[in-house]
Structure 1
């Protein structure tokens, strides 16, 4: 059966260069990613070769400074690239978002020498990153993390376990948040840990309902030694660094969610125009047309929301509230849109012959990662009414 794939969507892009970039990404996704996405997801294959291609093409470096090998692109453009990648295959779109998140601490808080030493390889040298904040007993309450780093001279020794690590076990470097002081958010420090560090091991990947091609695993730090030169930012600054990274990362999830939703709408629209019942294409029936209209409206609203938040970020204005809103709205919308796509396609939507059921399973993850949507509501409420209630 035919997978018609994502259809081109007009974007509001600031420059001719940006428009050319999006066009290049669309061509790349249709040639290198979309054709094998369903088969590789079903097989649980991680497309490391695609990430090598993206690195060589500069697509793992878009929002970072050209001085260190980045693409110097505004977040508004970078997020639209993520949307295109996620529409073709969420494992790739989300993987690029996670890699960007893993580079954030070094790019934003590292010394110039640290950035000069590490960033070029991380951004364009074929390396893949991961981000280690969550733990088995510290998910939404990330400030309660227990992984500890102890300093002796110029060396830190890390002990503990990280959980839900995207690219866990295959990443070339990890941005790790570990406790170096007392309890609470002020005792946490960030480190850049090589993927092949002695004492660092990965558990078998989690068995997930979706995104089977993207490995998610626990990481065990058993006496992992890291030089103080790989400490990012000041001691005790790690939690502030983590929150800063998550604000930007939530915009990445929002863009990925819109990409998945757009792909689901494209599939449902194509199917309902071709499928005939009672002598007519099923897209002619008003009830189904209204569903398609609602799906398209949610997608456009989500896209506008994440782009508005990105423009705030690009102009140096506060955007944490809008990032939480975008992640919340876009991932909820993706869940609704993908569920409706399956419904519109009836029994065919429930089969693996079409990608609609995969989009639905993948959308669920986006309501959970980078802070659950319940956490996003807490973040938004704090911005509106202050920090009352649970911490």
Structure 2
């Protein structure tokens, strides 16, 4: 990575937040709406579920949910029931699916809130039936099969029993099975042999659900990479997650622009300190970086408590004073340093860690490469100390 890449002086991302903000994550909701439209065009025959788990992949669940609805998303999807209930508390109506349940979860509250709940085993079916009876209403249930990922979902050997039991509960009026679904294990590797195997398992599961007498509204399997690269997996509904936020789930094939997407988050901070230091001066804990000569050091007031990976020590790219810099020394809890060499900056000037990239700044994918991870982690780990500043909000 060229981490000392010069860019035009007027290409620095303009600050949006108040001057008093130490740092901010700017969230471009117009970009999110545009991404929803682009993704829908990749799966024109399928309904769209906007996946909003983990606080909208770090972007803010509720504002992103509203923007996705405005762009035509028929469904909202979250991992936990608490996330689903928070959407309802914020006034988000329509269809919401949640899928990560543990025994004793708020089944009745979700049934009463008209949330579609995922069932992956008989214990969960028993729990939702009991909740429906206690609530005095029919629960909306989606059955999940483990097609090969090895996480949640019923094993194929247990699937016929689960579908028969679900149909019996449906006949009794306790539940209505609204969906059957699964999740790919390697859709981000489009030629991986598991894809064909898991498609076959899923199709068999659909046939068995039909044999049990179930007639779900939606059958769904495609996540972000499946939506973009596997049209045979679109079925009735697609579930884009990270792609909706403008991050390519298959960077080895193409960046977001290859799919008509634009990154939604820009992470920036105001420099807290700029000072001259002599050569052979240690920088940050452990002195893993020592200045090669007299230089200028700039202090960026973001650290691992804000979500900046400690693995970015010595590698993370930052745009400061019109050039890409590299984190000098270790990332600390609240701050890190960049070496400006002979360049000039002042306290309050903006440092941009990542953004869309079209103004010369690094992207979340650049950070992922620098840290040996995926861009999903880079955006989702931006912590609550960093205010989200929304642009493109609609009434």
What is the TM-score with the length of structure 1 in the denominator? 0.27
Higher strand share: 2
Higher helix share: 1
What is the TM-score with the length of structure 2 in the denominator? 0.26
Q: Which has the higher contact order (CA 8 A, sep 6+)?
A: 2
